[in-house]
Amino acid sequence: MIMEGRSALKSRGRCLPVFCALLALLCVAVPSGAAGEPGRYGWHFPTIGAGNGMWRLSVGSHFWSDHLEFRNLQFQGDVDLGKGLRLHTVLRSNDEMNGLGRWAPRVDEGYLEAYGFHTSPTGTVSLSARIGRTRYLRFPYPDAIALFDQVPGIGDLQGGDETGYSGVILTADYAHTSGFGLHGTWIDWGFGSDRSADWAERYVYYRGDSGPWHFEARYGYLPVRKEPVGQTEEGFNLFAGYTHRDWTIGFLYEELNDQPAHTGIVVRFSPSDKTRKMGELAFDYTRSPQGFAMQIPLAVGTFGRVRRISAGEEPYFTGVLHRPGEKGYLEAQNYVLVGEVKAERIRTYWQNGQNRNWYEHRLSHWGDTSSPGLTVIMVEEPWYLELEALVSPHTDLWSWDDLQQWEEDRMGPAQLNQKVTYRFYRKR
């Protein structure tokens, strides 16, 4: 990875003891259970095995009746280094808004992450420590209010300062079974961001359901919706959402000190042929400049002992090796399933349709997923456009003019989702 700017070790101050303690906790604690296994509690560190991972190569485009631009030749990669430890990168071919003519690689995302979870009958503690650069803070998984978070902008592609989050980034979350919880993210800024170490968010929250309705609330120091990202003000968010079949519509109200009140609406789509095609291409309509944006996949592959298949090609038999000439059938007699990891990959974008980040959330695991010699089958469902979230600094919505002003000033984060299952096999 290519890293720029000053060292993230600058102004460590109070952050250093917290960082060291967290790393020690993640490295020394011994897993005593696995997410998704009822009745088994303790520390767990999901992994797909040291040296295993995936990569993806793609290129962006923007077009309208008067132009066709190619941009953002991008390499994405993620590889596990051990239990609860992985290396992540999103490498871009240059720092220009449009064009592929100049070769000057830069890191949109590049970090080492240590993470782990502790489950108990009363709740779950989730911890993450990253060092490097990222454009995505949501951990352990985005709740409904997080869907409205501002995606870091594109000012760095227009000659401005770095956008996104960089340095040492520590996140802690505690979710109680009652629905109440605590969340905080601390950043010791570095790698091109000359800012003092501070909280990027810290708040208490509540999440609850009543039939088809879902409710959320936050209170504390919450992210403001202006750049540079990482600033906070005291205030609250309220969310209410309604689900019908596979569709969800939700509404946000937000008040922060010294900020205009915001309202928002999110629509979560049901997976379909249309949303899958839009998800695979990261298709988006942009207003400035007007046109359509895409991020076109060129090649995908894996690292280590991972074998990749799509969900539509899942075998009828438990096993690993393909029979000659029979794609999708696996020989079962010599292999046994010993473990599994379920995950979701998320990509977000907003301004100009620039697709510059992704993250794989490890949601549950069981069994042996780390022993040497295991063969890993990575079963991927298609990417799909999961949702559009619109948020605007207006609360008056009583007239057509009000609605036009709301639309003119709104931000529109979009989210893509891909569900993945890793299955681990040992030879008999």
Contacts of 29 (CB under 8 A, 6+ apart): 43, 116
Structure tokens at 239: 């969310």
Q: What is the pLDDT of residues 306-324, one digit of tens each?
A: 999 887 665 544 445 555 4
Q: Which contiguous run of DSSP H or E holds residue 200?
A: strand 198-210
Is pLDDT larger for residue 305 or for residue 325? 305
Q: What is the pLDDT of residues 69-86, one digit of tens each?
A: 999 999 999 999 999 999
**What pLDDT shows up at residue 313?**
65
Distances (CA, A) of 346 to 52, 228, 364, 365, 413: 19, 22, 16, 19, 12
Which value, to the nearest 10 degrees, does the dihedral of the CA atoms of residues 411, 350, 165, 51 take? 150
Task: Say if residues 151 and 349 touch (Cβ distance below 8 Å).
Answer: yes
Q: pLDDT tens digits, residue range 132-166?
A: 999 999 999 999 999 999 999 999 999 888 899 99
Can you state the percent helix, strand and coil of the chain, rounding each to 5? Answer: 10, 55, 35
pLDDT in tens, 94-133: 999 999 989 999 999 999 999 999 999 999 999 999 999 9
d(CA 321, CA 307): 10
| pLDDT (tens digit per residue) in 264-315 | 999 999 899 999 999 999 999 998 889 999 999 999 999 999 999 887 665 5
pLDDT digits (tens, 9 = 90+) for 228-252: 999 999 999 999 999 998 899 999 9
Q: Is 219 exposed, middle or buried, given 0-12, 13-18 or 19+ CB atoms closer than 10 A?
A: middle
What does R_g of the chain's alpha carbons equal in angstroms?
A: 22
Mean pLDDT for the stretch of residues 210-238: 96
Q: Which of 34, 54, 31, 45 is nearest to 359 (CA)?
A: 54
Which residues lie closer than 8 Å to 169 by C-beta, 6 or more apart?
A: 111, 128, 129, 130, 131, 134, 137, 185, 186, 187, 200
What CA–CA distances, in Å, run from 38 to 125, 181, 306, 361, 364? 16, 21, 28, 20, 12
Q: What is the pLDDT of residues 176-192, one digit of tens each?
A: 999 999 999 999 999 98
Contact in structure between 368 and 354 (CB atoms under 8 Å): no
Digit-coded pLDDT (tens) for 347-363: 999 888 999 999 999 99
Pairing assessment for the beta strands 335-349 and 359-367 based on DSSP bridges = antiparallel
Average confidence score pLDDT of the chain: 88
Confidence at residue 334, expressed as pLDDT on a 0 to 100 scale: 72
Residue 156 sits at φ, ψ, to 5 deg, of -70, -20
Residue ranges per domain, the chain?
15-427
Check residues 40 and 230 and name the one with the higher pLDDT: 230
